[in-house]
Structure 1
Amino acid sequence: MADIRDIEIIAPNFKRRLSGVTSTIIQLVPVQRNLGQKIAVLGPGLPTNLPSVRFRDLIHLWRTPPGRRCRVWHARRNVEMLPAILLRDLLRMKIRVVFTSASQRRHTGWSKFLIRRMDAVIATSAKTAAYLEVPSTVILHGIDTHRFRPPVDRAEAKRALDLNPSRKYAGCFGRVRHQKGTDLFVDSMIALLPSRPEWGAIVAGRATGPHLAFEAELKDRVAKAGLTDRILFVGEHTNIPDWYRALDLFVAPQRWEGFGLTPLEAMASGVPVVASDVGAFSELISEGADETGLIIPANSIEAMVDGAATFMDDLPRLAAAGANGLARTSSDFAIDGEARAIGAIYDSLMR
């Protein structure tokens, strides 16, 4: 438990269920602390190793931390913006409020009301910024490039996971459900693999509740195609970086996405990406001279088949795109850079 008198930034999390927003907080806060940002979390559903403050500690927000004119409250949801507005405007507590938006849709009237009352707004992509009606700063998400990194030996990385070390693998990682396009990936692999015996495919992720029948149907399709030993459903794993290191090609087949970190995780592992044109994917993946992958129309099996075949059938291009992806994530998408850019906004508000 942190002493709020020493805390300058509060990162609330008012949703118990794990989500992309929660994952962002979990990954960012330790990096921010390492960079000297005096930040702590508030709310349920977060690991106990993160520095945290209690709701009863908020009484101290009438006082400023040493050397600062205020504290910063960094909200990422409506439910976290509203209490901050009440603390600042009704109770006159000495805080400024930052909101990060990842949404790529028109905001409701209620959301617009809240967002207009922010002291600063961050958009996680240019597409997201286009839906905001207030000035914003675009700060793309970054990833931990120490955790996600290429293997020393990709064949050995496969062997460690009981995969065929002589086979190349295309992968699709994330929750197994229609929105995530898992069926598009499976169907594209069913079309591609029979004529490419040197390739296999991996689906890593969990299906829950109403999506279990969807997963069962996909496995049935694979069985009927006679590809059960080549299109593998490996479930959810805590060692997901190891699975990226075993891949040769990553496919991000989502029908909709708010931002989407999986292409960056693949690129940081030296793996080229074929991705649907959703979320921030077009801002993450480079096409052309420094190609790191391909952007394809969303919800198109034909485009996915063509895109994957482009790399499967051209191994020098596959290798070059993987190397370019590694260089791009290292230079442009390390999580330290994201944390520093956010920290600059904090500092401008607290000075």
Structure 2
Amino acid sequence: MTHPLAHTDVIAPNFKRRLSGVTATVMRLVPVQSRDISIAATGPVVPDDVPQVPLASLVTMSRRGPSPSGWRVWHARRNVEMLGGLALRYLLGKRLKLMFTSASQREQTGLTRWLIRRMDAVVATSDRTNAYLENPGHVIMHGIDTEGFAPSPDRAALRAELKLPVNATLVGCYGRIRAQKGTDAFVEAMLPILRDNPDVVALVMGRATEKYESFEKGLKDRARAEGLSDRMLFLPEVPVGDMADFYRVLDLYVAPQRWEGFGLTPIEAMACGVPVVATRVGAFEKLVVQGTTGLLVDPDDIPALEAATRDALSDPTRLAAWAEAGRSYVMSDFSIAREAAALVKIYRKLLAA
């Protein structure tokens, strides 16, 4: 029987079980990359529609890959995945070229720096991230599927289908519920806006891990104490494939993060024709064009976040223009096809070496 990796040139490990931004990136990229190169994801949980191989097959794969050089590429995005690649290469003798994508914008630990120094290629997701690397890497910004993330032809019908208020002005904030993501900043900024604007409804969607369950409860209690729990709605996390629908129903998306490595949510929203208010963290200053696709404010400045959100909602004509500009901007600069092609170019160089 043919080994699952017999014809695979590139392996994209994802060793995390729970949904995260990194996981979502891998699962969206691999199907697109597979059109141009033989690539497979591997990990404990990989969706059925993503080209994949079992984790156990890593141990039993041939030492040489199918490429003329005999190399395969191992594309890691976490420390544990870099360690896995090093173990396969040096302990099991697999002929692997090791590649790492860094999205972190903070001083790296000694372990991380040690691991990165052993990579054959390093990619940074933004110029800011690249500045934290000991040696500059290739800068390849994330992209998204602009066909999957697109405006709805009938937003009212979609809202009804999702059991959301059909005629309200919907303002959303999605992602993990925790202080780092600024969920509390969103709630505090929106409460006075909700009080002053009975037509506005705020949507918080995501999951609070066990560590942050009390944090989430505090936010719900805060909305309840203000008598606004019917318009500050906390929605459960949905599968990656359903996320686009929850952007499409919005009038405005708010990304209130205090810290972010890159942050895909602004371009996911803009691709769906939704303007964005975001903080100046991660790559957001590159993703949101001030006064053209939305507004930017400093992180952890709740009054500024409130003011920008009020400002964005105050002019429906301008908001509609931002929505159109945002979609065009993402289409031209942040398609996943562009990101996939740039990464495949590096894979081919590594395979040929």
Same fold (TM over 0.5): yes
Cα 1:82–1:98 change in 2 (3 A) is same
- SS for the counterpart of 1:62 is coil
Report if the CA contact (8 A) 1:73-1:84 is conserved: yes
Cα 1:18–1:327 change in 2 (3 A) is same
* Match in the other structure for 1:294: 295
For residues 111-151 of structure 1, what are the alpha-carbon distances to aligned partners after superposition, in whole Å with 9 as ceiling and x for unaligned? 11221121110001111101001131111111122221111
* Match in the other structure for 1:212: 213
For 1:107-146, list aligned pairs within 5 A: 107-146=108-147
User: Which runs of no fewer than 5 residues in structure 2 stay unpaired?
Assistant: none
Q: Does 1:252 find its partner at 2:219?
A: no
Q: Does 1:282 find its partner at 2:288?
A: no
Report if the CA contact (8 A) 1:275-1:294 is conserved: yes
Report if the CA contact (8 A) 1:4-1:53 is conserved: no
- SS for the counterpart of 1:96 is strand
Q: CA deviation at 1:89?
A: 5.1
C-alpha distance in 1 between matches for 2:80 and 2:62? 19
Cα 1:54–1:170 change in 2 (3 A) is closer
Q: CA deviation at 1:82?
A: 2.8
C-alpha distance in 2 between matches for 1:322 and 1:75? 35
For 1:1-351, list aligned pairs within 5 A: 3-33=4-34, 35-49=35-49, 50-58=51-59, 60-88=61-89, 93-238=94-239, 239-288=242-291, 291-351=292-352
Cα 1:62–1:220 change in 2 (3 A) is closer
Worse overlay, 266-275 or 146-155: 146-155
Cα 1:296–1:346 change in 2 (3 A) is same
- Which one-letter code corresponds to 2:45 in the other structure? G
- Which one-letter code corresponds to 1:279 in the other structure? G
Q: CA deviation at 1:48?
A: 4.5
Q: CA deviation at 1:247?
A: 0.5
- Which one-letter code corresponds to 1:45 in the other structure? V
- Which one-letter code corresponds to 1:247 in the other structure? L
Cα 1:276–1:56 change in 2 (3 A) is same
Q: CA deviation at 1:157?
A: 2.5
C-alpha distance in 2 between matches for 1:5 and 1:142? 30
Report if the CA contact (8 A) 2:7-2:65 is conserved: no
C-alpha distance in 1 between matches for 2:287 and 2:32? 21
User: Which runs of no fewer than 5 residues in structure 1 stay unpaired?
Assistant: none
Report if the CA contact (8 A) 1:2-1:51 is conserved: no
Report if the CA contact (8 A) 2:256-2:279 is conserved: yes
Cα 1:215–1:301 change in 2 (3 A) is same
- SS for the counterpart of 1:4 is coil
- Which one-letter code corresponds to 2:39 in the other structure? I
Report if the CA contact (8 A) 2:11-2:75 is conserved: yes
Count matched residues. Answer: 348
Cα 1:228–1:8 change in 2 (3 A) is same
- Which one-letter code corresponds to 2:220 in the other structure? K
C-alpha distance in 2 between matches for 1:230 and 1:342? 43
Report if the CA contact (8 A) 1:176-1:206 is conserved: yes
- SS for the counterpart of 1:6 is coil
Cα 1:2–1:43 change in 2 (3 A) is farther
For residues 82-116 of structure 1, what are the alpha-carbon distances to aligned partners after superposition, in whole Å with 9 as ceiling and x for unaligned? 34334445665432111111111111122112211
C-alpha distance in 2 between matches for 1:2 and 1:332? 39
Worse overlay, 215-224 or 15-24: 15-24
For residues 32-72 of structure 1, what are the alpha-carbon distances to aligned partners after superposition, in whole Å with 9 as ceiling and x for unaligned? 11x22101123323234432154455454432414345211
C-alpha distance in 1 between matches for 2:132 and 2:57? 36
User: What TM-score comes out, normalization by structure 2 length?
Assistant: 0.92
Cα 1:250–1:63 change in 2 (3 A) is same
Report if the CA contact (8 A) 1:2-1:40 is conserved: no
Cα 1:246–1:45 change in 2 (3 A) is same
Report if the CA contact (8 A) 2:36-2:344 is conserved: no
Cα 1:92–1:274 change in 2 (3 A) is same
- SS for the counterpart of 2:6 is helix
For residues 157-181 of structure 1, what are the alpha-carbon distances to aligned partners after superposition, in whole Å with 9 as ceiling and x for unaligned? 2222233322211111112222221
Report if the CA contact (8 A) 1:170-1:250 is conserved: yes
Please give the root-mean-square deviation of Cα atoms over the aligned residues, in Å.
2.0
C-alpha distance in 2 between matches for 1:234 and 1:18? 16
